[in-house]
């Protein structure tokens, strides 16, 4: 036995090693935080349980488009059956659910477990932290909405619809998707950052989105009995829900409307853009103020 | 140059003054920050990290003013908070890697450092499991590891022994001692358990009500008093010993179960030994009687 050479298994205590390599600046750190938050928003690097919701909702977003694209290509319709912009609004409950399930993950978690303190004790400022989280949520929503739109676009091209028309529609869809993502991320981020309780945040986000959506539908129906959106009051009712607000801003900015849609006047459009910017600004300010309070803690 | 230097540092809240004109310097090695709850320890650490601004006065940490150079300070300092701060759904390895990156390490370096520091704090296979299932001792180790992840030039440890059992406390303090000596990283460690700081600190700062009570090297603070503490079995033995020592010309008085004997020279030790032997008493212990930090604290 004694003539055997020692194999493996020997642990050499090499003592404490100092780090002499490069140290990244605030911007690079913020970017790393953004990337890891985006991964977490889809459950990557988290437990299996945490992957269920985002993956499920992503599938719910993608599967219908795949079916639509398949039918389009099989049946050879003359024109596409679904506009990208309409798809966003058709599946807004799914988007709302995603926001409700993941915004607390990104914002409430560090507050609930107080790991926020460990971030605040590091170089990035609390503003960097807040913006990294908000950007991650915007990008996560863009993935959720953008991927089905992209599939729809590729499918439309495969079905040999007009390339220019399809590209325009796809681009318009992406712009509206971005407007929706920014607005939802700001609202969801503020609600989630306001409470360390995950359940509260989930319920509050769903409540805000569903109540506002229902309120807008009802108000519009009452104010616009003919359904032609000629009433100014009915038009302004669209300010009341994030989806209709973002959509109207998109329509106005892109000058892109179709028969079942309405085109705001310049004045109305500017009001919508103003309200949109105001809401996003207030929410981002609110998230930041919230972390300022946490830092003073 | 001191690692930390504060000048007339003051922090007032609407109803309380957390720090009152605190002027203190902290050098290399392990420095204990002692005070009862509410003495201003945590407030001081938060100001040193640049997380809250002082009402008046200034603090320089590693050459940076904490108000204007908070970001530079935080890049160089490791901080272990007092309370729980670990999310339960990730493993210690992932979490420490992530926080290393948040301190500016590139991803590869962060991974390597995380493995290193987790080994140093003594967290073994458990480091791959989600932290939700960790014991208090394991959590404290992870909290310490994340403070070391970026190879800081100073670590601030807020009550690292909180909630640990005696064995866990000794292990934690041994690691803290190693950080200050072997790793060569200055340590500022807070505690309200005074006795435990005696064993690891080179220097002790005592805060009371936001004011500096004392700041001295440990040797000065807990220096020998020239008194020998003797404990013998049963109290009648104690009284007989006091009487016999008094007859032999030594100054001795009972103090609880102990007999305190003033040390006049080396012959005092012999006298105590011989007296106990003559009386046939059961000797429990003989030791140099030192100021306990508790006494310092009760000034």
In degrees, rounded to 5, the angle at the alpha carbon of residue A186 between the alpha carbons of residues A183 and A190 is: 145
Q: Rounded to an integer, what distance in angstroms lies between the CA atom of residue B112 and that of residue B92?
A: 14
Task: List the CATH code of the domain at B224-297.
Answer: 3.30.70.790
Closest residue to A114, CB basis, from B85, B89, B178: B85
Q: Do B81 and A16 touch (CB under 8 A)?
A: no
What percentage of chain B reaches a pLDDT higher than 70?
Answer: 93
Number of inter-chain CB pairs under 8 A, A vs B:
95
3-state SS class at A251:
helix
User: Exposure string (b/e) for B177-193, b if CB count within 10 Å is 16 or more?
Assistant: bbbbeebebbbbbbbbe
Q: Which of residues 33-62 of B touch A (CB under 8 A)?
A: 49, 51-52
Closest residue to B87, CB basis, from A32, A33, A113: A113
Closest residue to B90, CB basis, from A32, A46, A296: A46
Segments of chain B assigned to CATH 3.30.70.790: 224-297
pLDDT in tens, A170-227: 999 999 999 999 999 999 999 999 988 889 999 999 999 989 988 998 998 888 887 7
pLDDT in tens, B153-174: 999 999 999 889 989 999 999 9
Lowest mean pLDDT among A272-276, A293-297, B64-68, B222-226: B222-226
Spell out which chain A residues touch chain B, with contact meaning CB-CB distance below 8 angstroms: 15-19, 21-26, 28-29, 32-33, 36, 45-47, 50, 109-110, 113-115, 117-125, 295-296
Q: Do B88 and A24 touch (CB under 8 A)?
A: no
Q: Do A16 and B52 touch (CB under 8 A)?
A: no
Task: Name every residue whose Cβ is closer than 8 Å to that of residue A44 and which is 6 or more positions away in sequence.
Answer: A51
Lowest mean pLDDT among A292-296, B132-136, B188-192: A292-296
Quick check: A2 pLDDT over 50?
no
In chain A, what are the helix, strand and coil shares in percent, each to the nearest 5?
Answer: 75, 0, 25
Quick check: A11 pLDDT over 70?
no
Q: In what order do the strands lie in the sheet containing B56-61?
A: B17-26, B4-12, B56-61, B64-65
What percentage of chain A reaches a pLDDT higher than 70?
Answer: 93
Dihedral angle of Cα B262, B265, B270, B276, to the nearest 10 degrees: 0
pLDDT band at A1 (very low <50, low <70, confident <90, very high): very low
Which one of A122, A124, A133, A295 makes the best mutation probe of the B interface by having the most chain B beta carbons within 10 Å? A122
Structural contact between residues A149 and A246, judged by C-beta atoms closer than 8 angstroms: no
Using the Cβ of B82 and the Cβ atoms of chain A, whether some distance falls under 8 Å is answered with no
> Span A119-131, mean pLDDT?
93
Q: Do B120 and A16 touch (CB under 8 A)?
A: yes
Q: What's the CATH superfamily of B4-221?
A: P-loop containing nucleotide triphosphate hydrolases (3.40.50.300)
Segments of chain B assigned to CATH 3.40.50.300: 4-221
pLDDT in tens, A70-110: 998 888 888 887 888 889 989 999 999 999 999 998 998 89
Quick check: B148 pLDDT over 80?
yes
Q: Enumerate the residues of chain B whose CB falls inside 8 A of the CB of residue A110.
A: 87
Using the Cβ of B267 and the Cβ atoms of chain A, whether some distance falls under 8 Å is answered with no
């Amino acid at each position: 036995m004694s003539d055997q050479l020692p194999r493996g298994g020997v642990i050499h205590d090499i003592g404490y090693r100092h780090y002499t390599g490069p140290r990244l600046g605030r911007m690079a750190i913020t970017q790393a935080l953004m990337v890891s938050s985006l991964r977490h928003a889809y459950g990557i690097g988290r437990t299996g349980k945490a992957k269920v919701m985002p993956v499920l909702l992503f599938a719910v977003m993608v599967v219908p488009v795949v079916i639509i694209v398949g039918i389009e290509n099989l049946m050879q319709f003359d024109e596409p059956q679904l506009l990208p912009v309409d798809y966003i609004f058709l599946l807004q409950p799914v988007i709302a659910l995603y926001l409700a399930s993941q915004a607390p993950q990104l914002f409430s978690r560090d507050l609930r477990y107080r790991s926020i303190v460990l971030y605040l004790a590091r170089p990035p400022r609390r503003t960097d932290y807040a913006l990294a989280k908000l950007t991650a949520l915007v990008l996560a929503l863009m993935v959720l909405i953008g991927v089905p739109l992209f599939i729809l676009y590729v499918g439309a091209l495969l079905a040999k619809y007009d390339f220019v028309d399809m590209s325009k529609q796809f681009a318009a869809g992406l712009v509206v998707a971005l407007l929706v993502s920014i607005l939802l991320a700001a609202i969801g981020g503020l609600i989630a950052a306001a409470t360390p309780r995950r359940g509260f945040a989930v319920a509050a986000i769903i409540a805000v989105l569903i109540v506002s959506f229902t309120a807008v539908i009802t108000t519009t129906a009452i104010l616009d009995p003919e359904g032609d959106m000629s009433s100014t009051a009915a038009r302004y009712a669209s300010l009341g829900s994030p989806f209709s607000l973002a959509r109207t801003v998109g329509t106005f900015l892109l000058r892109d409307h179709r028969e079942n849609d309405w085109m705001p006047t310049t004045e109305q459009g500017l009001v919508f853009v103003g309200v949109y910017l105001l809401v996003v600004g207030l929410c981002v300010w609110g998230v930041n103020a919230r972390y300022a309070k946490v830092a003073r803690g | 140059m001191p690692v930390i230097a504060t000048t007339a540092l003051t922090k007032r809240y609407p109803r309380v003054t957390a720090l009152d004109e605190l002027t203190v310097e902290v050098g290399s090695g392990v420095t204990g920050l002692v005070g009862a709850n509410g003495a201003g320890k945590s407030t001081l650490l938060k100001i040193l990290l640049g997380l809250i601004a002082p009402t008046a006065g200034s603090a320089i940490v590693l050459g940076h003013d904490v108000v204007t150079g908070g970001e530079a300070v935080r890049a160089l300092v490791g901080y272990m908070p007092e309370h729980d701060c670990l999310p339960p759904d990730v493993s210690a390895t992932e979490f420490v890697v992530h926080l290393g990156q948040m301190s500016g390490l590139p991803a590869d370096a962060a991974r390597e450092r995380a493995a290193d520091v987790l080994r140093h704090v003594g967290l073994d296979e458990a480091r791959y499991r989600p932290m939700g299932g960790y014991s208090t001792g394991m959590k404290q180790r992870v909290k310490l590891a994340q403070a070391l992840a970026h190879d800081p030039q100073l670590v601030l440890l807020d009550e690292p022994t909180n909630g640990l059992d005696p064995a866990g406390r000794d292990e934690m303090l041994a690691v803290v001692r190693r950080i200050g000596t072997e790793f060569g990283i200055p340590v500022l460690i807070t505690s309200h358990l005074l006795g435990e700081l005696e064993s690891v600190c080179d220097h002790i700062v005592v805060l009371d009500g936001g004011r500096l009570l004392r700041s001295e090297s440990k040797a000065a603070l807990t220096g020998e008093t020239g008194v020998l503490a003797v404990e013998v079995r049963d109290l009648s033995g104690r009284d007989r010993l006091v009487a016999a020592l008094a007859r032999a010309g030594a100054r001795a008085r009972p103090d609880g179960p102990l007999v305190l004997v003033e040390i006049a020279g080396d012959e005092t030790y012999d006298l105590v030994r011989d007296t106990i032997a003559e009386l046939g008493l059961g000797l429990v212990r003989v030791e140099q009687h030192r100021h306990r930090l508790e006494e310092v604290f009760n000034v």
